[in-house]
Homo-oligomer: A and B are copies of this chain.
Amino acid sequence: MTMKHPPLKPFDEALAELLARATPLPGRDTVATWDADGRVLAADAVSPLHVPPQDNSAMDGYALRCADVPAAGTVLRVAQRIAAGSSGQPLQPGTAARIFTGAPVPPGADAVVMQENCEALSGADAGASASVGASDTPDAPALGRVRIHTVPQPGQAIRRAGEDITRGAVVLRAGTRLTPAALGLAASIGMDKLQVVQRPRVALFSTGDELVMPGELPPERMPPGAIYNSNRFFLRALLQRLGCHVTDLGIVPDQREATVAALRTASAQHDLILTSGGVSVGEEDHVKPAVQALGRLDLWQIAIKPGKPFAYGHIDAATQGGTAGGTAGGVAGKSGPTHFIGLPGNPVSSLITFMLLVRPFVLRLQGVADVLPRFIGAAAHFDWRKADQRREFLRVRRNAQGGLELFANQGSGVLTSTVWADGIVDVPPGQPIARGDTVRYLPFAELMA
């Protein structure tokens, strides 16, 4: 028989098919905001309060009435002192209040003049060494007087109540992946707990009789053809960065029974089984028949470089293994099919397909709406004439000018390129690149996070 070129599946089609299968997981966890970094919000965060809660000072300075300062050089009596965390008394006409950043503006005041434009004239230093707390005696000679060197405008240096966030506003949408900044925002509206989506449970294994785990054999004792397993190291770290619980099943021997047994056991308590190796056409491989014995598997040839071979399938609920008894709905149990994704064994292909296909899939399992990384238009500081028929992802690095330089060896065998590089350029099929062209750049910091 002649081996034909298999039909290639366009990348966008593969991604869309994959995301169509990634039904968000139903489980919910209530976690402390304090510990929620990286988790995905399961419900909108609605503000129960205005931020800021009341009108407050944007500066260290003096709160006053504009009507009392018709001209630069006006002198006012300092009648009170309002620190952040305290509250003032109504401002009497003709007086000023010493005020600090964040402190509530007293009723009656309509502007704050920053201290750099004021001159404290007498009495004790109105700064940090003065008495603590608001003064509530109308005659407080210790606070002295202040000369105002500018003519204030109404509203000046006052942050209005609700200016940043109004009560009832949605500050974080369900489906938001929480960053440190988002934790701060949730805390700022008083939320000490958040409802988030369960962590995906992922079982991970490699196939390939040529693979040896680092530490098992020293280099000088490696048999011919043996190579160290590297894919599981980065796949596990990437899954963990995405918030997954990862169960490592090691290297499964290239035997059908062993593969079926591993899949059956893993399927019972995992949402996704991820493998690397065994999905190339004609490869020495028991993954495909093993998955098909328990469910379904489609081998895809995706029109990308690197990363062409890829497999998506599932293990049917009925064929899932696990402990005896049919009890469903336990904490660790699950119902429904278990997803199966098979990545190419080649390390660079495995890494690239993880970042471009598995990452969006795993985010979508957690209910993230916006799963696709946005490219940045950046300048190529290299030429690329070897345009491929497939969509290509070149390993590049930013230089000191903010442009992109190309790693010399774009072969898919060596992870060196993915350590040297800080991102990839997404090159459309058949399109050469000339120095100075604006290209579509995706930083690894986003693809590996």
* 0/1 interface trace, chain A 114-148, chain B, CB 8 Å (1 if under): 01101110000101100010000000000000000
The residues in A between 31 and 74 inclusive whose CB is less than 8 angstroms from any CB of B are: 33-34, 37, 48-49, 51-54, 56, 58, 60
A173 to chain B, nearest CB (A): 10
A100 sits at the interface (CB 8 A): yes
- Which of A7-15, A267-275, A280-288, A427-435 is near enough to bind chain B? A280-288
Nearest-Cβ distance from residue A109 to partner chain B, whole angstroms: 14
Chain B positions within 8 Å of A240 at CB level:
37
Does the CB pair A37–B225 fall under 8 Å?
A: no
Q: Which residue, of A85, A172, A191, A284, has the highest number of chain B Cβ atoms within 10 A?
A: A284
A387 proximal to B (CB < 8 A): no
Of listed A217, A230, A441, residue having the most chain B CB within 10 A: A230
A221 to chain B, nearest CB (A): 10
Q: Report the bound CA distance from A229 to B183 in whole Å.
A: 11
Task: List residues of chain B with CB within 8 A of the CB of A280.
Answer: 60, 101
Question: Which one of B2, B187, B402 contacts A233 once the chains associate, using CB atoms below 8 Å?
Answer: B187
Which residues of chain B have C-beta atoms less than 8 A from A418's C-beta? 181, 184-185
Inter-chain contacts of A86 with B (CB < 8 A): 209-210, 225
Could you say which of A17-25, A314-322, A332-340, A370-378 contacts chain B?
Answer: A370-378
B351 touches A415 (CB 8 A): no
Known A-B contacts A104-B224, A233-B33, A440-B402; A419 and B215 likewise in contact (beta carbons under 8 Å): no
* 15 extra A-B contacts, CB within 8 A, seeds A181-B444, A186-B214: A33-B214, A37-B241, A51-B413, A83-B284, A85-B209, A87-B225, A103-B225, A104-B224, A180-B235, A181-B234, A190-B218, A376-B402, A377-B379, A402-B440, A443-B443
